[in-house]
Amino acid sequence: MGVSTASPEKGISVVTIDFPPVNALPVGGWYDLADAVRAAGRDPEIRCVVLAARGRGFNAGVDIKELQRDTGHEALIGANRGCYEAFAAVYECEVPVVAAVHGFCLGGGIGLVGNADAIVASDDATFGLPELDRGALGAATHLSRLVPQHLMRALYYTSRTVGAAELMAHGSVWRVVPHGELTEAALELAREIARKDGRLIRLAKAAINGIDPVDVRRSYRFEQGFTFEAGLSGTAARVRDTFGKEEELNEGEKADERGAGRG
């Protein structure tokens, strides 16, 4: 459990997220992820990093229960800074990063894949920002890198998700494959990248980042200010508490249905 790094093939490093049950990362997990991605990119033998995950989905964002347990603002500050570091680590990784996405990719997951260089997804992958339902804001910066502006706004305001096939139609997903073929598909792209000259691929990454029309670090930091304002005002806690009660209610309804089915 946690963040692990492996090098299954020459020139490729695979950084894997594993925080059961839904890969909602605690504060420390975001920093661990940032450290792992940066370390992989610094390795002179590595020419491509694959960012993957185990379990039911790629990433469910911040661990909301950790925020709810905190009576002050330390967890919120930690989550803000941890996400910022992890997203920046993916963007600033010295070599290209290929995100291998399965299942749900929500909240902080959008921050990660939006800053990746390429995305390979399984046909069960869904992407979205349920932030307004969770008492948070942010990562519109990264969703804007995946879908057109007006679609981004509609998805953000409604907390709806989109499937991998739709993102592929918008050009932000490289390839969509059956779930069981995801790892090989991501490695296939990574192999092609890793065949390039190591020095040149690093120069290419730096050059492409340098011509980005939006400074993703500054843009996301601006968004985070509003997240913190929502936290200080009490709005975030009120919405998060509602979210928790809705989860309990849904679980109760499911339990009732299972009980009725046994009757």
Task: Specify whether the CB–CB gap between 142 and 113 falls below 8 A.
Answer: yes
Segment 21-37 mean pLDDT? 97
- Calpha distance 63→58 (Å, rounded): 14
CB atoms within 10 A of CB 61: 27
- Label residue 262 by pLDDT band (50, 70, 90): very low
The answer to the question of residue 70 being in a domain is yes
The answer to the question of residue 260 being in a domain is no
The answer to the question of residue 250 being in a domain is no
The answer to the question of residue 28 being in a domain is yes
Length of the chain: 263
pLDDT digit string, tens, across residues 155-172: 999 999 999 999 999 999
Q: What's the total number of domains in the chain?
A: 1
- Calpha distance 236→224 (Å, rounded): 13
Of 62-71, 175-184, 217-226, minimum mean pLDDT range: 62-71
* H helix intervals, 126-234: 140-143, 149-158, 164-169, 182-194, 198-210, 216-233
Range of the domain at 112: 2-244
Sheet strands side by side (includes 126-128): 104-106, 126-128, 161-163
The answer to the question of residue 258 being in a domain is no
Q: Which three-class secondary structure state does DSSP give residue 23?
A: coil
Q: Higher pLDDT residue, 69 or 184?
A: 184
Residue whose entry in the numeric block shows the structure tokens 């990719």 = 105
Q: Which three-class secondary structure state does DSSP give residue 95?
A: coil
> Does pLDDT of 31 surpass 90?
yes
Question: Nearest Cα to 67, choosing from 226, 227, 225, 223?
Answer: 227
Share the mean pLDDT of the chain.
91
- Calpha distance 131→117 (Å, rounded): 24
**Residue 251, CA distances (Å) to 7, 228, 238, 256 in order:** 40, 30, 20, 9
The answer to the question of residue 21 being in a domain is yes
What CATH number does residue 6 fall under?
A: 3.90.226.10
Letter for the amino acid at 14?
A: V
The answer to the question of residue 259 being in a domain is no
- Label residue 65 by pLDDT band (50, 70, 90): confident
Task: Specify whether the CB–CB gap between 121 and 101 falls below 8 A.
Answer: yes
Strand partners, 50: 14, 98
The answer to the question of residue 156 being in a domain is yes
- Calpha distance 55→30 (Å, rounded): 17
